[in-house]
């Protein structure tokens, strides 16, 4: 998509000018004609001229927590009657990170040159999500930018809360697995060889557990680097396979079939999709465009294909609920609540209720996952350590009995 500056006249003969976003000049002219505007001049904006310095072209997307905080502050300032220019200046001065301060300063300079906030956001490359830019455009068009910013802030805070909750729940078992694996690897590769040399010097037939322990220790000492290299190679090959369309579809469909984890992934995707779609529709964005934006946030190719098929069906005149139900991928609650919302004219409210329900399901799934992981990890580590202790003590017991 590109931005085009236009000037011309409307059906009343009055001169008009402005900026429009389109995929090309023909599309821009078609959009203007639909609005009753006849363009006499249409020029594509040169993005390289309006983009900020090279720092911003390389800048990554703003973290969702920082963006939510900045958005709520901007909304509060606008509601208090502060001009957009002054509000952006305040964001520049209050930014804790210098790169964010420079970004807001660049937005302010663009606004002062006569661009809308939406156009200023577009000049920053990928720093701002598509959803964010589209809702800002709707807010400016409808004259309710402060209200849209509040909606955006609430939406971003919910997304950050969901992400933080998921990461916090998984940090403990992952850390426990990492530390436990490191301790066991240290025991088998450094401590056990010294003990087993002493046991071998006893000159007696070693029991099976001890022989297995010695064999494992020797194998890791001899071929451990090969195992590490093989593991890294498998990770690299899997990542490359995942970048291909067929590979990503296969792996993403496999993820949804995993026990416990699959239901958690589906619940997170459904909550994210429902909340995004409901927020966009509540801001006045058309359904098809809202579906396209929401689809990009799912993070699972199989679910994305289902939404693409849903959008095609809606474009052909179907309701939203029917193709969602036919996909067989999303929870039945989503299609049921969508159908209720379409009949009652409260689709966005129903979608937000689905998101709230899925958030509670995520909490339950995380609790279940942790309830399974923690005792399982303790059991595995206890079994391995018990095996090592048994393998070391058995030959000592045998030797003491022989002496007796």
Query: Domain extents for the chain?
Result: 2-45, 53-128, 144-404
The yes/no answer on whether domain 53-128 falls in CATH 3.40.190.10 is no
**pLDDT for the residue 390:** 84
**pLDDT for the residue 24:** 67
Residue from 354, 142, 361 nearest 346 by CA: 354
Over range 211-236, report the average pLDDT.
Answer: 82
**Rounded to whole angstroms, how far apart are CA atoms 72 and 95?**
13
Phi-psi region of 389 (alpha: psi -120 to 50; beta: other; left: phi over 0): alpha
**pLDDT for the residue 340:** 92
pLDDT tens for 266-314 read: 888 888 888 888 888 887 888 888 888 888 778 788 888 888 888 898 8
Q: Does the fold of domain 144-404 match that of domain 53-128?
A: yes
Has residue 46 got a pLDDT over 60? no
**pLDDT for the residue 47:** 45
Contact 365, 260 (CB under 8 A): yes
First-last CA distance in the chain? 88
pLDDT tens for 3-38 read: 677 777 776 666 767 667 666 677 777 777 777 777
Q: What angle do CA 105, 110, 114 make, to 5 degrees?
A: 140
**Rounded to whole angstroms, how far apart are CA atoms 84 and 79?**
10
**Residue showing tokens 């970004």:** 103
pLDDT tens for 116-172 read: 888 888 887 677 887 788 788 877 877 778 888 888 888 888 888 878 877 877 787
Architecture label for domain 144-404:
Up-down Bundle (1.20)
Sorting pLDDT into bands at 50, 70 and 90, what band is 58? very low
- Average pLDDT in the chain: 79
Contacts 24+ apart (CB under 8 A), 251-259: 252/300, 252/301, 252/302, 252/303, 253/301, 253/302, 255/300, 256/300, 256/302, 256/303, 256/329
Radius of gyration in angstroms for the set of CA atoms belonging to the chain, rounded to a whole number = 30
Has residue 51 got a pLDDT over 50? no
Sorting pLDDT into bands at 50, 70 and 90, what band is 92? confident
**pLDDT for the residue 3:** 65
Sorting pLDDT into bands at 50, 70 and 90, what band is 350? very high
**Rounded to whole angstroms, how far apart are CA atoms 155 and 290?**
15
pLDDT tens for 238-279 read: 878 777 777 778 888 888 888 878 888 888 888 888 888 888
pLDDT tens for 160-202 read: 887 887 787 778 778 877 887 887 777 777 777 777 777 666 6
Sorting pLDDT into bands at 50, 70 and 90, what band is 369? confident
**Rounded to whole angstroms, how far apart are CA atoms 372 and 388?**
25
Contact 162, 151 (CB under 8 A): no
C-alpha distances (whole Å) from 158 to each of 55, 65, 94, 201, 292 are 30, 10, 23, 64, 21
Task: Characterize the bridge pairing of strands 37-44 and 2-10.
Answer: antiparallel
Contact 319, 339 (CB under 8 A): yes
Read out DSSP for 107-158?
HHHHHHTT--HHHHHHTTTTSS-HHHHHHHHHHHHHT-HHHHHHHHHHHHHH
Q: Picking from 39-43, 56-60, 86-90, 243-247, which range would have the lowest pLDDT averaged per residue? A: 56-60
Dihedral pair phi/psi, residue 37, rounded to 5°: -110, 130
Over range 83-104, report the average pLDDT.
Answer: 84
pLDDT tens for 212-224 read: 887 877 787 777 7
**pLDDT for the residue 403:** 53
Structure tokens belonging to residue 266 = 């589906």
Cross-strand pairs, 20: 4
DSSP, collapsed to helix, strand or coil, labels residue 4 as strand
pLDDT tens for 307-335 read: 888 889 888 888 888 888 888 888 889 88
**pLDDT for the residue 60:** 64
Sorting pLDDT into bands at 50, 70 and 90, what band is 57? very low
Read out DSSP for 14-49?
-EEEEEEEESSHHHHHHHHHHTTEEEEEEEE--HHH
Q: Picking from 198-202, 224-228, 380-384, which range would have the lowest pLDDT averaged per residue? A: 198-202
Structure tokens belonging to residue 173 = 């078992």
**pLDDT for the residue 111:** 84
Dihedral pair phi/psi, residue 9, rounded to 5°: -145, 155
Contact 120, 110 (CB under 8 A): yes
């Amino acid at each position: 998509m590109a931005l085009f500056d236009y000037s011309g006249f409307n059906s009343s003969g009055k001169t008009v000018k402005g900026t429009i976003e389109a995929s090309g000049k023909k599309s821009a002219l078609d959009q203007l004609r639909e609005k009753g505007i006849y363009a006499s001049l249409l020029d594509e904006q040169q993005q390289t001229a309006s983009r900020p310095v090279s720092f911003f072209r390389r800048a990554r997307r703003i973290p969702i927590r920082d963006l939510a905080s900045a958005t709520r502050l901007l909304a509060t300032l606008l509601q208090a009657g502060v001009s957009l220019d002054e509000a952006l200046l305040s964001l520049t001065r209050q930014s804790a990170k210098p790169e964010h301060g420079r970004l807001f300063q660049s937005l302010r300079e663009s606004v002062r040159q006569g661009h809308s906030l939406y156009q200023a956001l577009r000049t920053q490359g990928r720093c701002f999500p598509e959803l964010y830019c589209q809702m800002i455009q709707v807010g400016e068009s409808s004259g309710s930018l402060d209200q849209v910013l509040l909606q955006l802030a609430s939406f971003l805070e919910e997304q950050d809360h969901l992400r933080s909750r998921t990461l916090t729940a998984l940090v403990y078992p992952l850390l426990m697995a990492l530390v436990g694996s490191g301790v066991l690897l240290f025991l088998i590769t450094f401590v056990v060889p010294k003990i087993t040399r002493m046991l071998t010097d006893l000159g007696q037939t070693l029991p099976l557990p001890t022989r297995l322990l010695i064999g494992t220790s020797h194998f890791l000492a001899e071929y451990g680097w090969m195992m590490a290299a093989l593991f890294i190679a498998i990770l690299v090959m899997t990542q490359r396979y995942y970048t291909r369309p067929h590979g990503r579809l296969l792996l993403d469909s496999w993820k949804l079939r995993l026990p416990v984890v699959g239901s958690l992934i589906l619940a997170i995707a459904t909550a994210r999709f429902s909340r995004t779609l409901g927020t966009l529709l509540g801001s006045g964005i058309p359904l098809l465009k809202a579906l396209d934006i929401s689809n990009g946030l799912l993070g699972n190719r199989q679910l994305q294909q289902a939404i693409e098929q849903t959008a095609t069906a809606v474009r052909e005149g179907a309701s939203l609920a029917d193709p969602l139900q036919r996909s067989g991928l999303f929870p039945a609650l989503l299609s049921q609540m969508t159908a209720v919302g379409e009949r009652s004219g409260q689709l966005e409210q129903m979608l937000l209720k689905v998101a709230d329900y899925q958030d509670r399901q995520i909490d339950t799934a995380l609790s279940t996952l942790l309830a399974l992981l923690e005792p399982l990890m303790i059991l595995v580590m206890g079994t391995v350590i018990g095996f090592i202790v048994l393998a070391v003590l058995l030959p000592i017991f045998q030797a003491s009995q022989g002496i007796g």
